[in-house]
Structure 1
């Protein structure tokens, strides 16, 4: 039984676009697209985690609006619970510190990307939400 890793992610809205990030070649799931975020630390609440991770990974400040449905995905050698948040871009210049690329896309373009498997149900739920 693989351990369950709690991971937050942010669907970041900026100028009516959605920010998505591409994992680098060195990361697990290389070159897959994802919503930026990261592992929940001990004694950290989920909203604080996603704000910290976004600051650490892409150098911007976000405002969390609400959370969406968490999903659990088993990658075989590890299992994650992905805890998604809808967020607004607040400030900062996007500087990729871990990812290889990012895009600001219209909502309709999201389905065309090669997503990390755990992110797919989150993309599908997000597409059903009216903004």
Structure 2
């Protein structure tokens, strides 16, 4: 049985730009060094938005409160070794301060430029949605 993870991700926006985080080397080559929206796994009994607040605190020292109505979309994606259900939330940041603890790079890009990066496959539908909304 393939492992399935329920995860949350933050689309963090500041001054019209989106925060893109580059993953470190990991167990699987197909997600190593790919760009992603920051977040992580939901722990048992956790609400999605509070899981996201916790992950951003742990990974980036980012203290941000995420309202439930900031929900953007859910992506189902199957990688070769595991599957994920990813719930994305749109978060506006007043102060773009954070510490990179687990990532190797961070970039702030306008939605139109997001597709210039090499994204993790599960994050691509979010990238596409952000680019469509920019055009409309």
TM-score normalised per structure 1: 0.90
CA shift for structure 1 position 34: 0.2
- Report if aligned partners of 1:7, 1:39 keep a CA contact under 8 Å in 2: yes
Among 30, 40, 43, the residue aligned to 2:42: 40
Task: Give the aligned length.
Answer: 131
User: Gaps (5+ residues) in structure 1?
Assistant: none
Query: For the residues of structure 2 that align with 1:114 and 1:62, how far apart are their CA atoms?
Result: 26
The residue correspondences of 1:86-101 to structure 2 (distance < 5 A) are: 86-91=90-95, 93-101=97-105
Q: Distance in 1 between matches of 2:64 and 2:116?
A: 25
Q: Which runs of 4+ in 1 moved over 3 A?
A: none
Shift of 1:27: 5.6
1:62 is aligned to: 64
Over residues 36-85 of structure 1, what are the superposed CA-to-partner deviations in whole Å (9 max), with x where a residue is unaligned?
00000011000111111111111112343511221111112111111100
CA RMSD across the alignment: 1.8
Q: Aligned residue for 1:111?
A: 115
Whether 1:51 aligns to 2:58 is no
Structure 2 unaligned blocks of 5 or more: none
